[in-house]
Every structure is written in C-alpha cells, then in structure tokens.
Structure 1
Amino acid sequence: MKSRTIRALQGAGAACAGLAALAACGPGGATTAGGRPTFEGRGPITYVAGKDASGSIQAVIDRWNKRHPKEKVTFVQLPTDPDAQREQMIQNAQTKSDAYTVLALDAVWTSEFAAHRWVDRLPEEQFPLRQMLKPIVETGKYRGGLYALPFSSDGGMLYYRTDLLKKAGIAEPPATWAEMKADCAKVKRLPEARGMSCYAGQFQKYEGLTVNFAEAVNSAGGVVTDAKGNPHVDTPQAKRGLDFLVNSFKDGTIPRDAVTYQEEDGRRDFQAGKLVFLRNWPYAYPLMAQKDDANKVAGHFRAAPLPGLNGPGASSLGGHNLALSASAENKATAIDFMKFLASQEIQRFTLSRAPGAPTYDALYKDPKLVKQYPYLPTLKQSILHAVPRPRVFRYGDVTAAIQQQAYAALTGSTSSAQALKDLQQTLRQQAAGE
C-alpha cells in the first residue's frame, strides 16, 4: 500500500483547529450529506495489533483470506508493549498513511483516537451490540457515537490457593483487603507455606501500574476522573486506596521485588508456589492449570472477584476494540472484516486458543464453555462491576502522570498524600490544556 502525503491534505487540515474542529473535520474519504463515512472500496487491507503470542489471530486471518481471496488481510504485528503500540498507531494517523486499516485499540484509547478523528465513526446499527455486555460496548463510544467495535474484553480477578486456604481453615476467598491479610497470616503459619509472600499485582512503571492504582482507588470508593474527565485523586478515598498498596509493601504483604512485576512475573511466581494471592487477567488461568513438574498450583487454585476496602473491589476494564483508520482505503472490506473478527463464531474459537473475556453475554452462559473455563462466571461479574480507566482526550499524558506518582509512593520516595496532591495538580493542568 502507498502512503499519502501530508501536503495532499493540508487544505482540509488547515480548516480544523482545536478540539471542536477536530470533532467536525478530519480525513476519512467519501462521506454522506450528514458527514458520516460511506465505507466504500473493496480490496486488500491490514489488521494492526500487538504481537500475537498464541497464534490465534493469524489463524483467524487465514480463515478470512481463504474465504476472500480478493480482499486479503495482512497482519501487521506491533510490539507487545501497549505504549509502543499506541505510539506507532498515532504516528501512522498523523502522517495520514493508508498503511493501517483496522486497528486493535486498547479499550481506553477510544476517546483520544475519536477526538482527533484518527478513526471513523462506525455504523453501529450494523453490529450486534445488544448481544454484548453493556460495559464493554460503552468502551467503544465517544460523545454518543460508536468509534470502536468490541472485540475482546478483560477483567482483573484474584487468584488464590484453594489447598492452602482449606488447610488453614478458610472456607471462602477474601472479600476485603483486611480479610486477605488475615487469611495470609493464617496460611503462612502452615509448614507448606514457609517463605511464601501474600499478594502481588502489576507494579512496574508501565500501564499495569495505572490499572492497579485505579483498581485500588475505585475499590476504596474513590474515582481517578469523573465522567467529564475531571480528576479526583486528592481525596480521602483515593488516599485509602493508595495507602493499601503502599502499606502492603511496607508490611510485607506485597514482596519488595513486586515493584518490578508485570503480568508474567506475578504469574510465574504464583505458579511456582511463591504467592498465596495474585491479581491478574483471565489469560493466566489456563496457563496455571497446565500440569507439569514445575507447576505447583495446577488443580489447587481458583479465581474470585478482587477484594476491596469494605467489600468486593472493582476491576479496571481492559480489552481491545476494533477501529477503522480514517485514512484507510477499502473501507467496505474493512467493515466486513470487523464483523467477522468480532463475531461469536470467532470469539468462541479464540477463547480456545487465547482465553480471555468474550464480549457476548451468551458465551458466559454456555455450559460447555463454563465447564472448560470455570472462571467465566467470576469474570462476567468482574466486567459488570468494572470501572473504566480515565476516558480522556490525552490518555497518554494521564497514564504517564499516574505511573510517575504511584511509583514514587510505592518506592517510598514520596508520601501517598504528596503523590496524590501532585497528581491532582498535574491532571488538572492536563485537563485545562485540552
């Protein structure tokens, strides 16, 4: 595919200034009288997403290509790191290149990409949105319009050692942070638990830290930003949430080296028998269920809702949605491919290859799937009660600020109170700059 030059679009681009103009102008090819894209053109397209470690996406694309030899899809795999994915997608959009067609956006990027008109508003009447879980559908919307089609979701869960809790006389997984710490104390008195740590999540300075910070704040009754994007982190509720993490590092509930953990670090330690509890995504369940000599938890763990301050906590809502690049060609093919990729047929298939969170309600109720993936009912509850990360125009700046201040508090270079005060000021300045 060729790349369009910026000069060819300078005339149209000069007419768009500021956020209000961005909402009304921008690239996107032919439009109807109402300004909606017509989605014309058929032929080859690209699908752009992070690295496909399971191979499931390429298998799906191969299935499409076999059925549509004149409208083949090329898979463009970006780095695993979400920040790097976002950066490359933005670079493509800013140069108005047609090299990227269908984008797998992190669910939290919708507002940013829609506000800039980097992606087209989609014809929502053409998609089975009513069959999907409502919180997932909402992640694809911006100012009343659908800009990203739900493809996969994600909800955090608490993995726990059933064998150790049972031996310690604990009948149910903890619903609160205090219960989790008390349960850990009982478990660690067992000879089998000698040297184990209590709990871990994702605390390295990357997007996972934003997720874990937001979950702590939400699970203590606070919010990071309100529905309008205004920050509310310098509050007693937010402080109680951050204090839970900070104090857990101080008292040993969370091991010190967890400040370097991403998802796989925690999964490996839990699987190796080093943790009683672990916050992670559903992808980890089948990996930890595989029986081998190095796996100490297969058959001895389950998943529960995340605990909170006074009761069950609130997960951050994860997942990826499908968006259509405004500067792409062959948009009719792209819309059909998006329908195919987000269909129940394909979600059922990918669930068997890369277990996660389906978008369709029916898949959580399917007896065969629930038997194969026992975590599905818990995962559905996690999603239904999940809270989106800040849905803001400049998400990249917001998450960077959160990571900086949360990491400073976790590592002891500043207090929780000062970190939240500084974060509130930074987020307020960013919101004013929009």
Structure 2
Amino acid sequence: MKPFSSLLPAAVLAVAAGLPALAAAEKLTISCGAVGAELQLCREGVEAWSKQTGHSVEVVSTPNSATERLSFYQQILSAQSSDIDIIQIDVVWPGMLANHLLDLNEVLPTASTQGYFQAQLDNATVAGRLVTLPWFTDSGLLYYRKDLLEQYGKPVPQTWDELTATAKAIQQAERDAGNANMWGYVFQGRAYEGLTCNALEWIGSHPGGALIDPQGQIAVDSPATRQALSLAKSWVGDISPRGVLNYTEEEGRGVFQSGNAVFMRNWPYVWALAQSADSAVKDKVAIAPLPKGGPDGKHASTLGGWGLSISRYSAQPKLAGELVAYLTSAREQKHRALVSAYNPVIESLYQDPELLAAMPYYSDLHAILSDGVMRPASITGDRYPRVSNALFDRVHGVLAGETPVDQAVSELHGELKRIKRRSW
C-alpha cells in the first residue's frame, strides 16, 4: 500500500506542511474515506458520477484514525485551501468545522434532504446553516442471545433493571451448567468516546435525563444521572467483568461472539460479524432497542455516522454540490447498505424489501434511529472534545469505584460550567 502522503496532491501536502499552496487543481477533489470498503465504495460512486457527467474527480485518501483525519482537515481548512472541495465528516464535527463549511442550502436542490431522519438534519445544521449532508448512520443497539432467553423463559428486557436481573439469572445458570466464562452484559467501558455514547444512553433513558439540554443548558446534575450511574456501577464485577473498564467495541464483541455474554451494547456493524460462519453465536443472536430507564423512561440510542461537506474555499461549489447530491442519493445509499452495511439516513429505505431481506433487523433499526440521541456537538462546537472528555473521565471513575456517584456528578457539572463559560 502506498504511504498516506503519496496519495495526496502536492498542493494539499504543501498546505499541511505550512508551505505556500501551489496553483489549485482544475479537477474536483473529494476526501471520502481512508482504507478498505469505505474508500472503495467512495471511489466507485465517484467514478459512476464522472462517467455520467464527464467531470473529472480525484479521490484523496485520509488517515484511518478519526482524530488524525480531523486534524488534517483543520489544517487544510484553516489555511483556506481550495485543494479539497468535499470532505467526509463525523457527526460530532459540524460545530467544530462550521465556519469553514459551505451552507449546502445554497448549492443543493431542495429534494436532496427530503425523507431524512430529522435528528440527523438537526445535527447537521449549525446556526441555521446546513453544513453537512448526512450520508450513513449508526446507533447503539442491544444484542442478545435469543436462544438463552428462550431456554430460560425470559422476555427481552424493556428496562435497565430488567436487563440487570435477567443478565444475573442467566449468567448464574450458565455458570452452574459449566460455562465459567459467561457474563451477563458487556459494553464499552474504557475512558474514551465510546463510553460517552454509553453514558448518554444510560442518562437519556431516564425521565428528565440529559447532559446538555436542546437549549444549551447544562442538565447533568439530576436524579436521572445519579440513578443511571449508580446502576451502571453495580454491573462491574457482577454481571460485567472488571475488564469491561478497558473494553472498546471490539473487546466486547469478542466476548459476545465467542458465546460468553448474554447481552451486549454495540453498533450495527457487529450484526454481520456475529452471523459469520466462524461465529460461535451464529443464528443465536437478535437485536432490540436499548432498555428504558424505568417504566416512565425511553429507549435512548446514541447516533453516530458521517456526512459530506463542501469547503467554503472550493472554487467549484456548485459542481461539488452536484456530486454530494449524487453520492447521498437514495440509490447510492441503498447500494452502500447492500454491499457493505452502511446504514442509510433516508427513512423510506428501512421499508425497502430488498434491504429488509438482506438485513431483517432494519425493521427494528428504523424505530431506534427515529428515537436516537445526538451527542451535543452542534451546541458545544469546538468545545465538544472537552465536554466528552469530562463526561467519560468522570463516568469511568464511577465505574472503577474510584469516585462516588454524587461527587462525580457534582464535579462534572462544575467542569461543564467552566468549559461553557458564558455560552457555547
């Protein structure tokens, strides 16, 4: 594989290195992937558009790490470079990059955003400007062993308390039957963005629970937060291994897919892997919405995903808008879903017979995405990374038994006030 730097145009490298930019290339340039299927699907979509329109497009590969990719984009955009017209951005970046991105309402046909999940469009809009067009999405899901629930006569849990009780009962029964490695529930417990997603789900599932409300007010110091974190703390060492404190998505998947967990919180990509030929739980898995925080709570799943944005410094914004509209069209989103399970952001595709045949869980996923919880990235703007760090650090301290819940919540509230200052 060529080194990352060899895939970039000379002008882009010059800007990234702090050198004067060379003359802007005449062709349209898009950055829409790093490696593997993500990059290949982008190339295929771009080539189809180029063949259809006769326009030339160069695809620029980026670092695989989201953090490195963001840093690269920030360098290019801060230099007001016109070398990259279209960039692929994470759902938590609109607020951070908005000042450098074009309002897509200026270049896209109105029909381009029809039928999208409203939460996705709201997140993509900063100060009334649509700065990115959602392309594909993710959502936190509850994976469960349907064979074990059936064997022990247990229903799919609707609340976190029910999950806790069911996980404990089946875990003990399986251990008594000889599987000493069985655990009740695995999730993302390492101190990183994945724990932010889990914590927002726990808190948001309780009545009145929120980190920051839609008006931008800090709302974390609440009974909902205390109740959610107290229950999560009780899992570690009981229905969840102590090692969960270092789990990302893949560590949890490894435990579940090897047959050693009853329940797991993870993203949709796990479905195909759990059903693969070498999976110990093939045909034994089902998914459901994450549990509610009590009978009066709600299902709350953190949304992820990526969108396409146009640089304000593009020399060809209208042409770039045409390519964005093509790549995010229903036809392209369906193709990407069928080929590599990139979940669409257009609601009607979740009733598409061909997609439902390939991915039966889509009927459940539609409802989950409709009730999805967006991280407060658009509200907090370039301070979101500090907000997320404050949350996952305090929550990790609670899970590890290092910080009492009341103290952690109080400290988190104070830290968020300092980050906010007068306004976001």
Q: Same fold (TM over 0.5)?
A: yes
Q: Check 1:324–1:101 CA distance in 2 against 1; reply closer, same or farther (3 A cut).
A: same
More displaced, 260-269 or 301-310?
260-269
Secondary structure (helix, strand or coil) at the match of 1:279 reads: strand
The one-letter amino acid paired with 1:75 is V
Task: Report the counterpart of residue 20 of structure 2 in structure 1.
Answer: none
2:344 to 332, 355, 358: 358
Instruction: Determine what percentage of the aligned residue pairs are the same residue.
Output: 27
Task: Determine the C-alpha separation between the residues in 2 that align with 1:212 and 1:355.
Answer: 22
Residue 60 of structure 2 corresponds to residue 78 of structure 1: no
The one-letter amino acid paired with 1:288 is A
Residue 315 of structure 2 corresponds to residue 332 of structure 1: no
Task: Determine the C-alpha separation between the residues in 1 that align with 2:160 and 2:384.
Answer: 29
Q: Check 1:206–1:83 CA distance in 2 against 1; reply closer, same or farther (3 A cut).
A: farther
Unaligned runs of 5+ in 2: 1-8, 17-24
Residue 218 of structure 2 corresponds to residue 231 of structure 1: yes
Q: Aligned-pair distance for 1:137?
A: 1.9
Where do 1:13-412 residues align within 5 Å?
Answer: 43-53=27-37, 55-68=40-53, 70-80=55-65, 82-114=66-98, 117-123=99-105, 125-170=109-154, 172-188=155-171, 189-190=173-174, 191=177, 193-221=179-207, 222-250=209-237, 252-292=238-278, 295-311=279-295, 312-390=298-376, 391=378, 392-393=380-381, 394-412=383-401
Q: Check 1:229–1:291 CA distance in 2 against 1; reply closer, same or farther (3 A cut).
A: same
Task: Determine the C-alpha separation between the residues in 1 that align with 2:411 and 2:282.
Answer: 44
Structure 1 consecutive aligned stretches of length 4 or more whose deviation exceeds 6 Å: none
Q: Deviations over 1:243-281 (max 9, x none)?
A: 22212114x222111111111221222111111111111
Task: Determine the C-alpha separation between the residues in 2 that align with 1:313 and 1:265.
Answer: 24
Q: Aligned-pair distance for 1:348?
A: 0.9
Structure 2 length normalisation: TM-score? 0.86
Q: Check 1:417–1:182 CA distance in 2 against 1; reply closer, same or farther (3 A cut).
A: same
Q: Deviations over 1:24-43 (max 9, x none)?
A: xxxxxxxxxxxxxxxxx972
Q: Deviations over 1:267-299 (max 9, x none)?
A: 22211111111111111111111122xx11110
Secondary structure (helix, strand or coil) at the match of 1:151 reads: strand
The number of residues matched between the two structures is 394
Task: Determine the C-alpha separation between the residues in 2 that align with 1:154 and 1:167.
Answer: 31
Task: Determine the C-alpha separation between the residues in 1 that align with 2:34 and 2:178.
Answer: 40
Task: Determine the C-alpha separation between the residues in 1 that align with 2:179 and 2:83.
Answer: 53
Task: Report the counterpart of residue 11 of structure 1 in structure 2.
Answer: none
Structure 1 length normalisation: TM-score? 0.85
State the superposition RMSD in angstroms. Answer: 2.3
Q: Deviations over 1:400-427 (max 9, x none)?
A: 2222222222222212221221111111
Unaligned runs of 5+ in 1: 7-40
Q: Deviations over 1:317-355 (max 9, x none)?
A: 211111112223332331111111101111111112221
1:417 to 380, 403, 406: 406
Secondary structure (helix, strand or coil) at the match of 2:215 reads: coil
